[in-house]
Structures are given as C-alpha cells and as structure tokens.
Amino acid sequence: MKRTILKIAVCALFAAPVLSRGQDATTNMVAPAPLPPPVVAAPAAEIPATNAPAPAKPKKLRTTLVATGKVSEVDTNAMTLTVGKHTFEITSETRITKGGQPAILSDIAVDDKVGVAYKKAAGKFDAITINARKSAGETNSVSEMK
C-alpha cells in the first residue's frame, strides 16, 4: 500500500510541470462555443410533413380577350361592331369611349381605330369595353391575347 501511494506521489511530481505548461498554453485560447440545446424527438403525429408538396394554386383562366384594329362595319340595329374578321356583340354592360370621352355605338364610324376587350360566350364575342379614336391610313389588324 505504501508503494502504491509512493508511485502516485512520484507521478504527480513529474506530471505537475507538464500540466502547468499545458494550462499556460490554453489561457490564450478563445473559450469554446456553447453547445446547442439538445434535440428532443417529437412524436410522429406532431412532426409537420415537410416532404409533401405545397398545394398547387389553380391557374386562373383568362376570360377577357383583346382585339385592336380598324372598324369595318357598325350595325346599330343589330348592335354589332365588326373589326377585321371579328363581329362583336354590344350588350347593355358594354362601355364605349371615343377620344377618352363616353360615347355610344353610333358615335363610332368605319375606319376608326378601336381596341375591344371581349369575352367568348356560346360562339359569339361579347364586347366588354370599346375604346375608339379617329385614325387614317392604317390597315386592319386584329390581335388576340390568350
């Protein structure tokens, strides 16, 4: 037993200078970063499903189309306006302007340049808005945006 105590004392004496130098070397070191908090596993019912795709938004179909061009015919009896190959039905909700001012269908003349916003319904084109202005020397051109 005395031998064991003596061995421990001798080892401690030899190890003391080594340990003191090791402490001197670490005094200039930056303190270690704190450990992150432990992660606690939640029951499967509480874990949100992150792998599931987000619900897809339904695409909003464009219901309003646009046409521009020169007026080739105005029929105030049938309440229609023809621009290029398209004949537009004028309804009670159709808003008509000419030169930025409110107008009626009879104010629009052949060869006036117009922009028409319309909807397709049952094989016919129902005009929503008609914006007209006087124009000379332009050709008929009808463009549709879908």
pLDDT digits (tens, 9 = 90+) for 83-110: 989 999 999 999 999 988 999 999 999 9
CA–CA dist 107, 3 (Å, integer): 123
Q: CATH homologous superfamily for 65-134?
A: Copper binding periplasmic protein CusF (2.40.50.320)
CB-neighbour burial class of residue 67 (10 A; exposed 0-12, middle 13-18, buried 19+): buried
Output the six-digit token pair for 10. Answer: 């001798």
pLDDT digits (tens, 9 = 90+) for 9-64: 776 766 666 555 555 555 555 666 777 777 766 565 555 556 667 677 777 677 78
**Is the pLDDT reported for residue 144 higher than 80?**
no
Q: Which amino acid is at 144?
A: E
CB-neighbour burial class of residue 130 (10 A; exposed 0-12, middle 13-18, buried 19+): buried
Number of other residues whose CB lies within 10 A of the CB of residue 97: 17
Query: Which pTM does this prediction carry?
Result: 0.51
